[in-house]
Amino acid sequence: MLFILNSTIQNINPESEVQCRSLCSLLMAYQSGHHMLFIEMDDLRILRERLGKSLGIAGEKALQSLYNKLPTFKAVVSQVSSAVIVHIDENEGAVPIKKEGSWYVPITYFAPGVLQSVILGENDRDAELYIQLAKQYRDEKKIFGYHPAARPRSGGGSGIVKVLENYIASEVSPCLCITDSDKFYPGSGKSTAVRGCEELSQTNTRILEYLLLEEREIENFLPKSLLERANPDFEYFVEKVNSIKGYKHDMWSYLDLKEGIKLDWIQKRDAPTQEYWSCVKEHLEQQRAKCNKCKNTSGVNCTCCMITGIGDKVLDKCINFLQNNPPRLKKGVFQSDTRWHAVGKLAFSFLIAPSGENARVRA
């Protein structure tokens, strides 16, 4: 993530062990390639003069490295949508305050040390997708010399609330948490997991952002052009869905792309869900009425009563495509679909780190 040391850092107390340790935590996070650090050049000169030998050899090297890199960092700062503004606060118990997409955080908050940002999804592959979207955003904006540095975390589906609680209790490093909605139709209520994540994100005292996708599952969020290239059964599925009289394109966000949709599933849902999927229900009922196999049976498991999905490995195949193809091919995948852009931009802001930093100090 981008940490910006504002002008109050000039007032750091060289005799304050906690302030110096906190600054060293940020410097080491930058030096290790975990985060990006920025400060105005005039402020950095004052800071170096004020601190003298207070930060030790490692801290001095990191400040020298930052001094060398600042001219190249300046242009990138304006392209990052979320940042952590670090300031000196006499109240050492102060906590992060979020304003207009950024966090204002007292430097002593970082005394325990700063690890790579956490990107938390409902499973490991969700988190990996968001990292890929961050890379795609970087490539699209031609932000060379930087990469998304992250610790992917899995919530284990509905267990994501507990994982988020554990993060809040134990970490000060930034965390971006993203979940799908689990909705069967646009107006359906929020799941327990969504409500839990929203509550934690609104009341926590951490550098935490929670993003709720409108789509039912992460697969519904993926561009159709990506799904088509990565999944050989995609065209057949789309053809079947588009053949349904009354089907509307906005229903795509709530389809079960992996398993498909079954008449039996619709019939067991509540009235609003059945109403939303009524066109599919009628279509499958008509199919069943024409099926000779279903004359004397319930027909629950007959293929006439379902539209088969494109398989359990939809997300895996899409991620593999993004990982194994050059930027020019991936760019074509995303050109016709802009939903990825906002997520990629947010993920890149949380994960941005300079590439190949690691204590390279010019003489």
Same domain? 199 vs 335:
yes
**Which segment of 1-15, 41-55, 263-277 scores lowest on mean pLDDT?**
41-55
Note whether 217 and 148 are same-domain residues.
yes
Is 326 within the bounds of a domain? yes
Is residue 362 pLDDT above 50, yes or no?
A: no
Residue 153 has pLDDT above 60, yes or no: yes
Phi/psi of residue 146, each to 5°? -135, 155
Query: Does residue 363 lie in a domain region?
Result: no
Structural domains of the chain, count: 3
95-147 tens-digit pLDDT = 889 988 899 999 999 999 999 999 999 988 999 999 999 998 998 888 989 99
* In a domain? residue 359: no
Which of 79, 95, 113 represents a domain boundary (last residue)? 113
- Work out the mean pLDDT of the chain and round it to a whole number: 89
Same domain, 74 and 57: yes
Please give the residue range of the domain that contains residue 128: 117-221+316-353
- Would 362 be classed as within a structural domain? no
**Does one domain contain both 146 and 286?**
no
Give yes or no: residues 210 and 332 share one domain. yes
In a domain, 334, yes or no: yes
Is residue 235 one of the residues assigned to a domain? Answer: yes
Name, in order, each residue with C-beta under 8 angstroms of 148's C-beta and a sequence gap of 6 or more: 131, 134, 135, 138, 347, 348, 351, 352, 353
How sure is the predictor about 361, in pLDDT bands with cuts at 50, 70 and 90? Answer: very low
Q: Tell me, yes or no, whether 144 and 211 share the same domain.
A: yes
Model pLDDT for residues 79-89, shown as the tens digit of each residue? 898 999 999 98
Q: Are residues 9 and 40 in the same domain?
A: yes
- Residues 195 and 90 both lie in one domain: no
Which segment of 15-29, 47-61, 327-341 scores lowest on mean pLDDT? 327-341
Q: Note whether 71 and 150 are same-domain residues.
A: no
Identify whether residues 250 and 267 lie together within a single domain: yes
Claim to verify: residue 37 and residue 106 sit in the same structural domain = yes
The single residue listed with the structure tokens 């593999």 is 320
Spell out a b/e string for 92-104, using b for 16 or more CB atoms within 10 Å of the CB, else e: eebebeeeeebbb
HEC string of 93-123 equals: CCCCEEECCEEEEEHHHHCCCCCCEEEEECC
* CA 46 from centroid of its chain's CA atoms: 37
pLDDT at 358: 44
- Answer whether 88's CB lies under 8 Å from 12's CB: yes
Question: Which of the listed residues 113, 138, 170 is the one where a domain comes to its end?
Answer: 113
Q: What distance in Å separates the CA atoms of residue 137 and residue 127, rounded to the nearest whole number?
A: 16
11 and 96 belong to one structural domain: yes
The model's confidence at residue 336, banded by pLDDT at 50, 70 and 90, is low
In the chain, the N- to C-terminal Cα span, in Å, equals 28
The domain boundary, picked from 86, 113, 140, lies at: 113
Specify the pLDDT at position 363: 26
Q: Which pLDDT value is given to residue 42?
A: 94
pLDDT of residue 79: 87
Flag whether 360 is in a domain. no
198 part of a folded domain: yes
pLDDT of res. 163: 95
172-225: pLDDT as tens digits: 999 999 999 999 999 899 999 999 999 999 988 899 999 999 999 999 999 888
Q: Is 183 left (phi over 0), alpha (psi -120 to 50) or beta?
A: beta
